[in-house]
Structure 1
Amino acid sequence: MEAWIKLNSESIGRDKIARLIQYFSRAVWDSLEQNHASPITVDQFKTLEYILSSFRKLLRFGKCLDVFYSSLKSSHYPDIALRITLTIGKLSQSLFLLADHIIWLSRTGLFKNINPKKWGKIANKYWLLSIIMNLARDVYEIHRLIDLHNSCGKVGITRSRVPLSITSSRDLSRLALYSYGIMLGHQDVAVDTIKNVCDLFIPLTALGYTNLSARTIGILGILSSAAGLVALIQPKAKLLPA
């Protein structure tokens, strides 16, 4: 109950909850449609998805300025890899949100000359770039963890090192085991990586680079939303600096 109150008291928490239900609705209506369920029921879940999508756009309205301002701060990080990935990622997210705001204005009917498909494509392009930068940061963090693990192995803190080359199934098993152990000890990197990998295919499919079903996109959205909720509820699962 305390976790629910904490989530519901913040706009970002309400956005994550609405996002989870939104993608759940997408997975449900596509499953119902594939099973030839009642068109009325399918339309109800499609309407629910649309309403939640519009609600989230309204909830985020104006956030593009906040994200842009935070990109100015990240441009001063001493670590060059973090500085580049975070700054470009935040700038891309800011432009994605700006396009998203324009889409919301078109849905309200205030500006009828706006082409929502055109701006939807623009929004997805910037969202995709933002996710790619986030994934590049995740890869960098994982590489740092592996280097730290191997360095500890050299001085005898750990018994063995992560295999740098894979020549057999045994090496592959060792790599998988060590990677699991490292990620288990660093929930923030694991949760952020899972979230970004799942999110990656959503704009890719929207832009036509991949051809995933609405049900698959819904499941990926559910997983990424759940990862985002975990990062909000558990401070140790949030990757910093964000």
Structure 2
Amino acid sequence: MATIASQVVFHPTVSQTLKVCSTTLGRDKIYRAVQYFSRFLAWYLLSKGHKIQAARWNALKNHLAIGRKLMRLGKPMEHLQAALRASQATGPAAEQITTIGRQLGYFGYLTHDALVWANTIKFVNLKPSTASRVGKLANQFWLAGILCSVAFGLLKAGRLANDAKLLQGTGPWTEKGVEVDRDVKLQAVTAQRESTRYQFIVDLLDIWAPATNLGLVNLNDGVVGIFGVISSLMTLRLQWIAVNGKK
């Protein structure tokens, strides 16, 4: 029995999971996945008339949302630093502008979201009209950040597609060293294209949450919840690879 317990406790998957959970981003994405799943399940149960069970999952969703706001209190400065670094970097102007826009959008979102959290726990007392305005601004900044990220993805995908065509179409490659160099560059471009497409899908899934909160679209909590679960798991997968070095 002790051997079986030891094999379970020290199983590589358990150790890898603990490594991911030891990071703030890993915990946040796990909490986010559960939060959005709770949002979906609460909507589903309520649509079936199970009000008591729905209230339970709705409460879990709300408390996870509050907890995640607390975990993100320091992140606005991270995005402000990233915006400053992007402004000092070299590269295509359009990609640089959209990168700065994305970081500033998330800076504004998380800054206002911190005020929402402070008001929710009664650390500060905002008037209902002020609290509503702050929440709306948070969602507007969130949406702006995602839109900039989508624009960046489209611009970068187009540039990388042209780079790949140039590398594939140039030839003939008679010198072995030159051919190897071409293949290395092509592999790097291919990896960047895959990464860009991956983030683009995440952005397309995430954009509906602030758009729904602002009333720009009319998606129910079930659809928004499922989209949130998928994007959370996709981001969690990237963190898993970053921490454990494997897919």
Return the TM-score normalized by structure 2.
0.80
Alignment-derived partner of residue 102 in structure 2: 89
Is the aligned partner of 1:75 residue 2:82?
Answer: no
Alignment-derived partner of residue 239 in structure 2: 232
Q: Residue 154 of structure 1: CA displacement?
A: 2.5
Compared CA separation, residues 138 and 3, structure 1 to 2 (3 A): farther
Amino acid at match of 1:63: K
Matches for 1:21-170 after TM superposition, within 5 Å: 21-37=34-50, 39-79=51-91, 80-114=93-127, 115-155=130-170
1:12-67, Cα deviation, whole Å (9 max, x unpaired): 11111100100000000101111112x11110000000000000000001221222
Distance 2:190 2:111 in 1: 34
Distance 1:32 1:40 in 2: 9
Distance 1:230 1:186 in 2: 18
Amino acid at match of 2:23: E
Equivalent residues of 1:188, 1:231 under 8 A apart: no
Higher-helix-fraction structure: 2
Distance 2:106 2:39 in 1: 23
- Unpaired segments of 5 or more residues in structure 1? 158-181, 237-242
Specify which of 200, 205, 222 is matched with residue 198 of structure 1: 205
Q: Residue 110 of structure 1: CA displacement?
A: 1.9
Amino acid at match of 1:67: H
Distance 1:104 1:153 in 2: 52
Compared CA separation, residues 207 and 153, structure 1 to 2 (3 A): same
Q: Residue 188 of structure 1: CA displacement?
A: 1.4
Q: Residue 69 of structure 1: CA displacement?
A: 1.8
Compared CA separation, residues 132 and 185, structure 1 to 2 (3 A): closer
Distance 1:85 1:3 in 2: 35
1:72-107, Cα deviation, whole Å (9 max, x unpaired): 111112112332111111111111111000000001
Distance 1:121 1:64 in 2: 17
Equivalent residues of 1:22, 1:48 under 8 A apart: yes
Amino acid at match of 2:163: L
Amino acid at match of 2:161: I
Equivalent residues of 1:76, 1:83 under 8 A apart: no
Higher mean alpha-carbon deviation, 79-88 vs 95-104, is at 79-88
Q: Residue 185 of structure 1: CA displacement?
A: 8.0
Distance 2:215 2:64 in 1: 23
Higher RCO (CA < 8 A, seq sep 6+):
2
Equivalent residues of 1:184, 1:190 under 8 A apart: no
Distance 1:56 1:183 in 2: 34
Q: Share of identical aligned residues, percent?
A: 27
Equivalent residues of 1:127, 1:203 under 8 A apart: yes
Amino acid at match of 2:71: L
Q: Residue 3 of structure 1: CA displacement?
A: 3.2
RMSD, matched Cα: 2.0
Distance 1:186 1:235 in 2: 18
**Aligned positions, number:** 211
Specify which of 214, 217, 233 is matched with residue 221 of structure 2: 214
Alignment-derived partner of residue 22 in structure 2: 9
Equivalent residues of 2:105, 2:144 under 8 A apart: yes
Distance 2:191 2:90 in 1: 27
